[in-house]
Homo-oligomer: A and B are copies of this chain.
Amino acid sequence: MSEWRKDPVVDRWVVIATERAKRPTDYKCPVDEKFQQRCPLCPGHEQETPPEILAFRRPGSQPNQPGWWVRVVPNKFPAVRIEEKPLSWWDGMFQAMSGLGAHEVIVEAPEHEDDLANLSERQVEEVVWAWRSRLLDLRGDTRLKYMLIFKNKGRTAGASLFHAHSQLLATPLVPAEVAAEIAGARRYHAQKGSCVYCDTITQELARDERVVLESQRFVALSPFAARFPFETWILPRQHQHDFAMIDEDDVRDLARVLREILKRLQVAVCDMPYNMVLHTAPVNKEPEVIYHWHLEVLPRLTIVAGFEFGTGYYINPTPPEMAARALRNAVIPVNREPGLYALEVGKNV
């Protein structure tokens, strides 16, 4: 009927519905009206955001003017600020710190109607370069210990702007989720002498049940204990703890794979709301070389509710094997760009 599955790295069990499972066509996707007529992220509205931190732009164009294809600005309503002093204090038995950090918006394309899944490969590469560049720049501030790149796409996944964008939130401490993954990787390494993510890749490639696609440098798979229907992770095949260490070939390959996964999700299910998080090793402390960075795409077709908040566990009505099969079999409509889908796709089942 259903089974409990444990994530191999952290203490997270998931109930996977194996019998009365929900197939791709069982999901209703929310229709996200192209909200927001007057968009502060559109070219020509550069004055409506704080001054840009980074922009890839046409030679000769001026900062904070049109002419860019990727633009990074501080969040206008930041959760945390780089200007804060690193103060911490106790309020009786409670611990608090100043709201130190950084909160940036990476505008992924100039066109308001564009979507990360529908950008050209070249443009997705540019987005990845922007992520990398911001991560490298911010680690110069030694008060910061972690930088999370994430994306909220669609209103029900938390996006307040329609225009394609990702976000960066840098924190003065290592987030609990990352700390738990590192602790799990260390535990596994102490027992087996190897990397739990590397071993996962090896096992999954041998089984070929949950692999969605593999490229020269990356593997995309439905994790064994996926929390969400169609949850998909992208991992570098070679062990690498720090995302910012990726080279030009990695960037090109990652952009292709990410774009392909997002397109396949659209084709196999729908243009769904999703969150995406990039988990990489912390910075400005002993390097966690045992860690293995990866990108998690978390579709929001189910609602996280009382059970999840009360337990930290999840109920996933679509087995990852079913999700992987649907994503492998998704036939992406041919478009203008030739040779775009020449990825080496895992055996279709």
Complex A-B, nearest 6 residue pairs according to Cβ-Cβ distance, in ascending order: A158-B305, A150-B306, A175-B311, A277-B310, A2-B99, A176-B312
Complex contact A95–B5 (CB within 8 A) = yes
* A residues 1-51 in Cβ contact with B at 8 Å: 1-6, 8, 11-13, 15, 17-18, 20
A71 within 8 A of B: no
A313 within 8 A of B: yes
Complex contact B179–A306 (CB within 8 A) = no
Residues on A facing B (Cβ under 8 Å) = 1-6, 8, 11-13, 15, 17-18, 20, 77, 79-81, 84, 91-101, 148, 150-152, 156-159, 167, 169, 171-173, 175-180, 196, 199-200, 203, 207, 224-225, 275-279, 296, 298, 303-307, 309-313, 315
20 additional A-B residue pairs with CB within 8 Å, beyond A150-B310, A171-B311: A1-B81, A2-B79, A4-B100, A4-B172, A6-B94, A8-B94, A8-B95, A11-B176, A13-B176, A15-B79, A15-B99, A17-B79, A94-B203, A94-B225, A148-B307, A150-B306, A150-B309, A167-B307, A178-B311, A180-B312
Complex contact A157–B93 (CB within 8 A) = no
Complex contact A84–B275 (CB within 8 A) = no
Residue of B nearest to A192 (CB): B93
**28 A–B pairs (Cβ distance < 8 Å), ordered by A:** A1-B81, A2-B79, A3-B97, A3-B98, A4-B80, A4-B173, A11-B179, A15-B99, A17-B79, A18-B99, A91-B224, A92-B203, A92-B207, A148-B310, A150-B305, A150-B306, A150-B309, A157-B303, A158-B305, A169-B311, A171-B311, A175-B310, A175-B311, A177-B309, A275-B310, A277-B306, A277-B309, A278-B310
For the complex, give the distance between the alpha carbons of A200 and B176 in Å. Answer: 22
A134 to chain B, nearest CB (A): 15
For the complex, give the distance between the alpha carbons of A193 and B47 in Å. Answer: 57
Which residues of B lie under 8 Å from residue A95 when comparing CB positions? 5-6, 8
Complex contact A315–B15 (CB within 8 A) = no
For the complex, give the distance between the alpha carbons of A49 and B29 in Å. Answer: 28
Query: When the two chains form the complex, which single residue of B92, B156, B275, B312 contacts A306, counting CB atoms closer than 8 Å?
Result: B275
For the complex, give the distance between the alpha carbons of A84 and B98 in Å. Answer: 50
Complex contact A99–B4 (CB within 8 A) = yes
How many copies the complex holds: the figure is 2
Which residues of B lie under 8 Å from residue A151 when comparing CB positions? 306
Known interface pairs A150-B306, A305-B152, A306-B276. Does A176 touch B311 (Cβ–Cβ under 8 Å)?
yes
Which residues of B lie under 8 Å from residue A6 when comparing CB positions? 94-96
Residue of B nearest to A206 (CB): B92
Query: When the two chains form the complex, which single residue of B94, B196, B224, B296 contacts A5, counting CB atoms closer than 8 Å?
Result: B94
Which residues of B lie under 8 Å from residue A79 when comparing CB positions? 2, 15, 17, 307, 315
A163 to chain B, nearest CB (A): 16
Which residues of B lie under 8 Å from residue A199 when comparing CB positions? 93
Residue of B nearest to A158 (CB): B305
For the complex, give the distance between the alpha carbons of A171 and B96 in Å. Answer: 34
Which residues of B lie under 8 Å from residue A13 when comparing CB positions? 173, 176
Residue of B nearest to A207 (CB): B92
